Amino acid sequence: MALNSSKKLIKVFSEQALASTRNYGTVKRVVASKPVVEMDGDEMTRIIWEKIKEKLIFPYVKLECLYYDLGLPHRDATDDQVTIDAAHAILKHNMWLSPNGTIRNILGGTVFREPILCKSIPRVVPGWTHGIVIGRHAHGDQYKAQDFIISKPGKSPGVAMGMYNTDESIRAFAHSSFQVALQKKWPLYLSTKNTILKFYDGRFKDIFQEIYDGEYKKQFEDAKIWYEHRLIDDMVAQCVKSSGGFVWACKNYDGDVQSDVVAQGYGSLGMMTSVLMCPDGRTVESEAAHGTVTRHYRLHQQGRPTSTNPACVECIDSGKMTKDLVICIHGVKNTKDGMFLHTEDFLQAIADQLERKLSK
C-alpha cells in the first residue's frame, strides 16, 4: 500500500551504518528478518525510548526501523496524516510500537495486560499468588462514541450518548482472548452487564459462546481449562478473592479501569506488560511505557520466555529500582534519596544485567 507522505514521514535507519560508528560489545546481534515500524511519542517518553533503543535493543539486534514521528507538533503539522500512514505501514509490516487510538481502530485486536511479578515488591492484594491477564477490547464503545448536552426545549435538560461495536471486531476480540488463554493454559472469563444491556452486551456474550462451542471447546477441555461468562460486578468480586491464574476478557471501558486496578493490586502500575494482539496471529503492539522491547514481541506472541523481563526483574530483586517501587516497599514517608535510582541509572543497571545474562 502506498503511503501518502512516506518521503517526509519515514526515515529508514541502516544498522550497518550505525554499527560502523558504535561499539556494541562482544555479544552476537540477532538479525531481524523484517523491518520494525517505530512510532515516536512526546516529551519524556521520547527521551526514555531513545535511551532504551541505545542501551537495550541496538546492541543486541540488527534491524531496519521505519520511523514515524507521532509527537504532537508533527501530528499538527501533518493534520494527523502521519498517524494514518503509520497505521497502514503497520498492516504492511505486521509489527509496531506505541499505542494510539486511531491505530487501534484500524488494526483491531485486543490489548492484553499482565503484571510483572517481583519477589521484592509486596502485593496490595496478597492473595494474588499468580498473575491475572486483562484482555481489553481495543475498539469502539465509549472510545468511539458521540456524546452531547441536550439544551433545547423538552421535558428536561440532560446529556445523551450513542456508541457502537461490530460483530467483526467482537469476533476478533473473542479469537484473541481464546488464543491467549490457550497459550497461558489458564481459564478465560468474559465479563459484561448483559442483564441491563440485553442487546449490546448480550451480543458479546452470544458471539463468545458461539465461537467457543464451535472452535475452542475441545482445545480448552484438552488443556483442562474452561471458558465462562460472568456479570462484571460478580467478576470483580471473584477477582479480588481469587488467587489469580486466569485471563479476564473485558469490554473497552471495563478493561481500561480494571487493568489499572489489577496492576496496583500487584504493587505498581509501572510493573505491567501491555501487548495488543491482532487476530491475524502476526501483528502485535507493545506499549513502551510498560517496559517491553520490540525484539521480543514475536517471542512473547509464541509464548516463549524472553531475556529482557528476567533481566529487569533480577535487577529489581537485587535492590536496584526506581522511586515508585521503593515507595511500594517502604512507603512514601520512609523513602529517602539514595534508596532509588533515577531513570538513566536504572536503565544502565538493566543494561548491565542484560549484558551479563547474554554473555554467559
Instruction: Output the known binding site for Mn(2+).
Output: 233, 256
Annotated binding site: 233, 256
User: In angstroms, rounded to a whole number, what is the distance separating the alpha carbons of residues 345 and 343?
Assistant: 6
- Strands 132-137 and 246-250 turn out to be parallel
- Whether the CB-CB separation of 81 and 5 falls below 8 Å is answered with yes
SS3 107: helix
Provide the terminal-to-terminal Cα distance of the chain, rounded to the nearest Å: 43
Give every CB contact of residue 314 below 8 A, 6+ residues apart in sequence: 353, 357
| CA gap 234, 194 in Å, rounded | 12
Q: Which residue shows C-alpha cell 473473542?
A: 174
Q: CA-CA distance, 332 to 177, in Å (whole number)?
A: 38
Cβ contacts of residue 275 below 8 Å, gap of 6+?
111, 112, 113, 284, 285, 286, 287, 292, 297, 300, 301
Gyration radius of the chain over CA positions? 22
Q: What is the dihedral of CA 316, 321, 327, 330, to 10 degrees?
A: 60
What is the three-class DSSP state of 187? coil
Contact 105, 230 (CB under 8 A): no
Between strands 188-192 and 227-231, the pairing is: parallel
Task: Quote the CA–CA distance of 133 and 328 in Å, as a whole number.
Answer: 21
